[in-house]
Structure 1
Amino acid sequence: MKIDVIGDVHGCYKELTELLDKLGYRDHDGIPIHPEGRKISFAGDLTDRGPDSLKVIEKTARIITAGKGYYSPGNHCDKLYRYLKGNKVQIKHGLETTVEELNQLNERDRKTLRDTFMKLYEEAPIYQELDGGKLIVAHAGIQEKDIGRYTKRIKEFVFYGDVTGEIMENGMPVRKDWALHYSGQPWIVYGHTPVKNPRIINKTINIDTGAVFGGKLTAFRYPEAETVSVPSSMNFDAARFREYPGS
């Protein structure tokens, strides 16, 4: 099984199309197809902050519907889903950009987009267990003991990481480095916390290289364990990237 896992897109449709092209996918009636039969995996956070969240939703939905890829949601996907359901959510931290795009649509197109995303979200697993469990894709990561299990606590971890409830000076939440303690055999591919370059520790890799913050959009190629990136067209915001000791 050959899979290309793509990190947090956050509405960066231009970078997504460039990355798929660089990975060797070619468009067939709006669906990217790879000559080697590779499939695409999305690690969550398709939307918010970037300029083209709705195009990213539509592209992802076409890929999943055609059976050419996999998707599991991130915290931004979850918040958009709750917004579209009519739940009371705060329209900030990037959601405002997606809401603005939605408000520019006519009523019919807005309903179509809403239905497309809600179906995509509702049919998605909390995290992906691929290639017989040898590859795990979880938005913010997952603890080894939780693989194969599904609870509210695990869902919170997968969406937000190992948060402490504390807030850093830059307004970002304090997140413990769960990957330091991973000793399992499956690859765990995740994102959520932007890093300047893909970060491998034990058998985990963070591929959120901050495309929406002016970094890169990155894919992890499985089973080759290689990364492929394209540069972002967005303005660089150094404060958004997490620095790890020794990085």
Structure 2
Amino acid sequence: MKTVDFKHARGPDRLRVYAIGDVHGRLDLLQEMHRRIQAENEKSPPFDWVIVHLGDYVDRGPDSKGVLDLLVSAQKKTHRMLAITGNHDIGFLEFLATGAPNGMFAHNGGRQTALSYGVSIDFNDLGSVAAGRNALLDAVPPGHIEFLRGLKRSMIFGDFFFCHAGIHPSVDLDRQDPEDLVWIREQFLGEPRLYPKVIIHGHTPVTDVEIRPNRVNLDTGAVFSGRLSAIAIDAENKFLLEAL
């Protein structure tokens, strides 16, 4: 099996690929990152470009609705704004579908997501959970639900494989379990072996962007650190961007 390491990995010819880590409701940082990317493109115009957003658009931060508004609007304007799903995005859809009071959404920042839509939910009160879920169903635009439902779990550009959490090291890239792509941690993070592609991911917060021979972790905990991180891949050249 042919493998590649980060140093020698290349992006597609004539296409600059940006990837942005976990946003978690920090609309301000996402807007700033888009401005940084625009400035890079103006400073050094690529033949063409795309942005891959690595998931976890909602929960914990103050403006999940605003983040989804931005992404939905951007995708209508250009084919260059790409997005894959994260476990929090899936958890949001699951809560809207089931109203589960003890699921991912309830215990991992869903209250802030609901507030961004003008809905207050006390997840310790079953009546409030049921009423809040119904209010959210009315408040969340159909376009947001359509966007989240349509998100892929991975993408490939050149020598790079993009997903939210990582991959199972023992499984071929085209046979990955969809759950691993949004949830995996220890088995993946501790694995030193090289893969056919370098994995670009988020999901596990780190203090600084983590660049390993086989993977790059872009989740610098934007909602806690106030730092949103991205990578630009332009043929053999790679460089990092940060929004503060």
Compute the TM-score of the two structures, normalised by the length of structure 1. Answer: 0.74
> Which structure 2 residue ranges, 5 or more long, are not aligned?
1-14, 121-133
Task: Tell me the equivalent position of 2:111.
Answer: 96
> Could you tell me which amino acid in structure 2 is paired with residue 191 of structure 1?
G
| Partner Cα separation in structure 2 for residue 24 and residue 110 of structure 1 | 35
Mapped partners of 1:72, 1:23: distance in 2:
19
From the CA coordinates, give the structure whose radius of gyration is larger. 2
**Structure 1 residues 109 and 156, CA gap change in structure 2 (3 angstroms):** closer
Identity %: 24
Question: Secondary structure of the equivalent of 2:111?
Answer: helix
CA spacing shift, 1:119–1:195, aligned 2, 3 Å = same
> Residue 160 of structure 1 aligns to which amino acid in structure 2?
W
Deviation at 1:46, TM superposition (A): 0.4
Higher helix content, 1 or 2: 2
Rounded to whole Å, the distance in 2 between the matches of 1:117 and 1:16 is 17
Report if aligned partners of 1:180, 1:201 keep a CA contact under 8 Å in 2: no
Measure, in 1, the Cα distance between the counterparts of 2:210 and 2:175.
25
- Partners of 2:161 and 2:85 lie apart in 1 by 13
Counterpart in 2 of 1:169? none
1 CA distance for matches of 2:135 and 2:143?
A: 12
Contact 2:119 2:135 in 1 (8 A): no
Q: Deviations over 1:51-92 (max 9, x none)?
A: 111010111122233312211111100100111223425322
**Matched residue, 1:239:** none
Q: Which residue of 1 aligns with 2:179?
A: 156
CA RMSD of aligned residues (A): 2.6
Which of 10, 24, 30 in structure 1 is aligned with 2:38? Answer: 24
Structure 1 gap segments, 5+ residues each: 27-33, 163-174, 232-247
> Which residue of structure 1 aligns with residue 53 of structure 2?
42
Match runs of 1:1-247 below 5 Å: 1-24=15-38, 36=46, 37-65=48-76, 66-90=78-102, 91-104=106-119, 111=138, 113-131=140-158, 134-144=159-169, 145-150=171-176, 154-162=177-185, 175-178=186-189, 180-223=191-234, 224-231=237-244
Shift of residue 114, structure 1, vs aligned partner: 3.8
- Taking structure 2 as the reference length, the TM-score comes to 0.75
